[in-house]
């Protein structure tokens, strides 16, 4: 396990180094003069500003030097400065990470909490109307893009029913939940939840649909296994046969997929945050592209890629912890 | 004479399938005395496993027991509630399955999987005592270093050792009846002998346990059992003491099975003892289900299904040749 851990961490680091290289080389990859293009998105630049930028982005340096100086910046916590917002890209991103993570994690939570009972129900009621209904809904969910779901939700719940705000963010739901528990007052929590509900549901819809199908099929696979008959033959009641013996096995492939979905969900925030004006990295990244704010683009890509790699690493390690067959294979 | 431990009357178990209703057990009647070892033999697909599962009431829907009765130690199993039946399983009635690797849950430790029997049937047992009894049982079934292996997972054991773990779980509460469904079929030849030996030893040490040993191998069953029941396409075709069956088989199907007792140097399961294939359980042929494969079949065999008749006390056969 330890040797594996070391190998896995090293390979993650290697991927991150490659990402840094590509990100640092963006200034070379853009056709034409990158600083002139940035000027188009940032009116009011002086010649002096442009010279400083050329130096910062390493426009005139060889690729490798650009890479080492960018890498050096990373170690100093310096990801460059946003040309548009005129402040540190690292700080701008750090401010927005919590909102994005909260949105993605809420979506992930929904993707599990909704899909798990639904998938199990469909498997246990295989071939009945419930199962067919579940299949239709999940096929629909896999096929429809998340921004469309978001727009439909806005039309229904904000425009028509006027139950939920269409855009905005009032602060962390997790923090509010903690305070609500302490003060035994849920009003702030509810106010914040009203904002996250629609973005999280539209972001999670695809994952809910996919997981329902995945859990249904793994559960169907597990239900036929001999070890369930053995458990019954020992006098284990049916409920325990399903919730202990079957579910534990069905959860293994599910956890893997769900963990990897966090990466996909983070990617989805790039679109959903823009639909709902959610102040996270996704929205910042898309804005920085419109602003042609290259330092900010670089920093957003770098942070998003690193988060993705780290999540994959964590999922892989967790998977090994919950599946004893893998846990002991590599000593 | 007192009541037999198990008596099955006219049991019919069917599965609805796309092609129609599949009759896996077709009117089986059988009795088993206390402490007896009965062998149940027949080709693969003849309904042995379904018969065993029917006695455990573990036939999975949509399959169901459609008719007949099963009396076990004075109670009618088919009249028990789900929970009453559950309490018998593992405690008074146990079952061992064919493929040990598939039978053990891969994500639970073996200590957990054996201990579960105690936990459900002796709710007041504490964790220390549970562990103690499981270790003791692991020791009895011949797992070396039993105490250290309590927390190990199934994949850390060989197939033979896994089957020992399963036997430990099945026998830990001294059940009155153990149905061993081909307990050695999935194992290597040398390991097979060890497992059969273990079963025999455990049974001898346990004054109350009867065993139904299911096998498609008459050779295995002949060595272990006092009595043998031969099953063909859902019917019992011959039931007799082991020696009588081996020395003087009455049913042509039994004759064919004996002619093909596998030797140690031949691959298990690779034999097709009798020419032809098992009768289709969805649309069985009229008359005797075996007639198409029987060298002695005559007109009556094609129209009238023979019933199990007593030839001499203790010997039963279902064949028109022996009317
Ligand atoms: N769950 C099931 N669904 C449908 N048919 C089944 C099922 N289990 C067993 N059968 C059928 O019942 C018949 C008897 O099977 P089985 O008892 O497993 O045979 P054996 O154990 O003697 O090899 C076979 O035709 C088999 O296909
Ligand atoms: Mg079988």
Residues of A in contact with B156 (CB under 8 A): 328
What does each C-alpha distance from A23 to A292, B142, B273 come to in angstroms? Answer: 15, 62, 71
Of A47, A78, A109, the domain-final residue: A78
Domain assignment of residue A138, yes or no: yes
Q: pLDDT per residue over B258-275, tens digit each?
A: 887 765 555 555 455 578
Q: If you measure from the C-alpha of residue B237 to the centroid of ligand 1, how many angstroms do you get, rounded to a whole number?
A: 18
Domain assignment of residue A277, yes or no: yes
Q: Is B17 near chain A, with CB under 8 Å?
A: no
B128 or A323: which leads in pLDDT: B128
Q: What secondary structure, in 3-state letters, does A240-302 show?
A: HHHHHHHHHHHHHHHHHHHHHHHHHHHHHHHHHHHHCCCCCHHHHHHHHHHCCCHHHHHHHHH
Mean of pLDDT over chain B: 91
What pLDDT does residue B116 have? Answer: 96
Q: pLDDT per residue over B186-201, tens digit each?
A: 888 888 888 988 888 8
Residues A30 and A142 in one domain: no
Residues A72 and A127 in one domain: no
Sort strands B75-76 and B93-96 into parallel, antiparallel or unpaired: unpaired
What pLDDT does residue B271 have? Answer: 52
**Listed ranges A204-213, A271-280, B64-73; the one with the highest mean pLDDT:** B64-73
How many residues are given for chain B?
323
What pLDDT does residue B262 have? Answer: 60
CATH number at residue A280: 1.10.3720.10
What pLDDT does residue B282 have? Answer: 92
**Using CB atoms and an 8 Å cut-off, which of residues 302-331 of chain A contact chain B?**
322-325, 328
Indicate the range of A4-8, A160-164, A252-256 predicted with least confidence: A252-256
Closest chain A residue to B170 measured between Cα atoms? A234
Q: pLDDT per residue over B293-315, tens digit each?
A: 998 989 999 999 999 999 999 89
Nearest CA to ligand 1 atom 6: B15
Residues A288 and A216 in one domain: yes
Check whether B150 has a pLDDT greater than 90: yes
Residues A314 and A247 in one domain: yes
**For A80, which DSSP code?**
-
Domain assignment of residue A197, yes or no: no
The number of the ligand nearest the C-alpha atom of B51 reads 1
Task: Tell if the pTM clears 0.80, that is, is over it.
Answer: no
Residues A140 and A11 in one domain: no
Where are the strands (E) in chain A, listed by range?
none
Residues A55 and A143 in one domain: no
Mean of pLDDT over chain A: 85
Q: pLDDT per residue over A14-46, tens digit each?
A: 999 999 999 888 877 777 777 877 777 777 778
> Count of domains in chain A?
2
B267 or A215: which leads in pLDDT: A215
Rg of chain A in Å (alpha carbons): 24
Residue B234 CA, distance from chain mean position = 14
Quote the domain boundaries for residue A120.
96-161+202-322
Contacts of A4 (CB under 8 A, 6+ apart): A320, A330
Compute the distance between CA of residue B227 and CA of residue B45 in angstroms, rounded to an integer: 21
What does each C-alpha distance from A226 to A219, A231, A236, B97, B157 come to in angstroms? Answer: 14, 9, 14, 8, 18
Domain assignment of residue A221, yes or no: yes
Domain assignment of residue A40, yes or no: yes
Domain assignment of residue A141, yes or no: yes
Q: If you measure from the C-alpha of residue B41 to the centroid of ligand 2, how many angstroms do you get, rounded to a whole number?
A: 10
The SS3 of residue B152 is coil
Indicate the range of A81-90, A269-278, B145-154 predicted with least confidence: A81-90
Given CA atoms A33, A36, A41, A45 in this order, what sign does their dihedral have?
Answer: positive
Q: What's the count of helices (H) and strands (E) in chain A, helices before strands?
A: 16, 0
Compute the distance between CA of residue A81 and CA of residue A213 in angstroms, rounded to an integer: 45
Residue B146: name the closest of B135, B160, B157 by CA: B135
What pLDDT does residue A85 have? Answer: 83
Whether residue B173 has a cis bond before it, omega within 30° of 0:
no
Q: Are A88 and A299 in contact (CB under 8 A)?
A: no
Q: If you measure from the C-alpha of residue B68 to the centroid of ligand 1, how many angstroms do you get, rounded to a whole number?
A: 19
Domain assignment of residue A318, yes or no: yes
């Amino acid at each position: 396990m330890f040797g594996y851990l070391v190998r896995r961490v090293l390979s993650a680091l290697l991927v991150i180094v490659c990402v840094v290289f590509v990100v640092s080389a963006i200034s070379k990859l853009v056709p034409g003069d990158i600083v002139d293009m940035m000027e188009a998105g940032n009116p009011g630049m002086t010649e002096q500003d442009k010279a400083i930028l050329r130096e910062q982005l390493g426009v005139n340096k060889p690729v490798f030097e650009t890479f080492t100086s960018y890498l050096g910046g990373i170690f100093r916590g310096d990801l460059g400065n946003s040309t548009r917002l005129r402040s540190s890209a690292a700080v701008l991103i750090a401010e927005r990470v919590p909102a994005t993570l909260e949105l993605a994690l809420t979506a992930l939570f929904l993707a599990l909490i909704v899909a798990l009972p639904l998938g199990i129900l469909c498997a246990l009621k295989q071939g009945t109307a419930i199962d067919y209904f579940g299949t239709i809904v999940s096929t629909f969910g896999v096929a429809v893009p998340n921004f469309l779901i978001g727009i439909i939700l806005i039309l229904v719940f904000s425009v028509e029913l006027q139950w939920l705000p269409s855009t905005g963010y009032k602060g962390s739901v997790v923090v509010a939940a903690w305070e609500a528990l302490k003060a035994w007052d849920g009003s702030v929590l509810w106010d914040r939840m009203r904002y996250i509900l629609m973005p999280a549901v539209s972001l999670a819809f695809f994952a809910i649909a996919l997981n329902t199908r995945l859990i249904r099929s793994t559960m169907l696979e597990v239900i036929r296994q001999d070890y369930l008959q053995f458990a019954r033959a020992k006098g284990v009641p049916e409920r325990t046969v399903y919730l202990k013996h079957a579910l534990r096995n069905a959860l293994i492939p599910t956890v893997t997929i769900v963990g990897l979905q966090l990466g996909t969900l983070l990617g989805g925030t790039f679109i959903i945050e823009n639909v709902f004006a959610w102040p996270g990295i996704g929205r910042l990244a898309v804005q920085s592209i419109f602003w042609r704010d290259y330092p900010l683009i670089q920093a957003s890509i770098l942070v998003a890629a690193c988060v993705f790699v780290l999540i994959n690493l964590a999922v892989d390690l967790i998977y090994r912890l919950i599946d004893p067959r893998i846990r002991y294979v590599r000593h | 004479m007192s009541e037999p431990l198990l008596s099955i009357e006219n049991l019919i178990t069917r599965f609805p399938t796309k092609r129609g209703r599949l009759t896996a057990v077709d009117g089986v009647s059988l009795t088993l005395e206390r402490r007896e070892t009965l062998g149940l033999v027949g080709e693969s697909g003849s309904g042995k496993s379904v018969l065993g599962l029917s006695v455990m009431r573990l036939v999975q829907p949509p399959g169901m027991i459609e008719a007949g009765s099963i009396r076990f130690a004075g109670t009618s199993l088919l009249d028990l509630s789900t929970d009453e039946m559950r309490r018998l399983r593992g405690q008074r009635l146990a079952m061992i399955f064919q493929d040990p690797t598939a039978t053990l849950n891969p994500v639970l430790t073996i200590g957990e999987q054996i201990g579960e029997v105690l936990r459900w049937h002796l709710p007041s047992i504490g964790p220390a005592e549970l562990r103690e009894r499981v270790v003791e049982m692991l020791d009895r079934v011949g797992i070396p270093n039993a105490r250290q292996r309590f927390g190990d997972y199934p994949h850390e054991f060989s197939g033979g050792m896994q089957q020992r773990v399963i036997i430990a779980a099945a026998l830990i509460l001294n059940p009155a009846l153990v149905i061993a469904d081909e307990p050695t079929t999935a194992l290597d030849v040398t390991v097979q002998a060890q497992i059969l030996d273990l079963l025999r030893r455990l049974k001898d040490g346990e004054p109350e346990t009867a065993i139904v040993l299911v096998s498609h191998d008459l050779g295995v069953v002949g060595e272990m059992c006092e009595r043998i029941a031969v099953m063909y396409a859902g019917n019992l075709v011959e039931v007799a003491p082991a020696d009588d069956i081996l020395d003087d088989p009455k049913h042509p199907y039994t004759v064919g099975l004996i002619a093909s007792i596998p030797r140690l140097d031949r691959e298990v399961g690779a034999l097709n003892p009798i020419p032809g294939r098992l009768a289709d359980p969805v649309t069985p042929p009229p008359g005797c289900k075996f007639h198409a494969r029987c060298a002695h079949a005559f007109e009556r065999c094609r129209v009238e299904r023979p019933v199990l008749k007593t030839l001499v006390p203790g010997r039963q056969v279902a064949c028109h040749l022996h009317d």
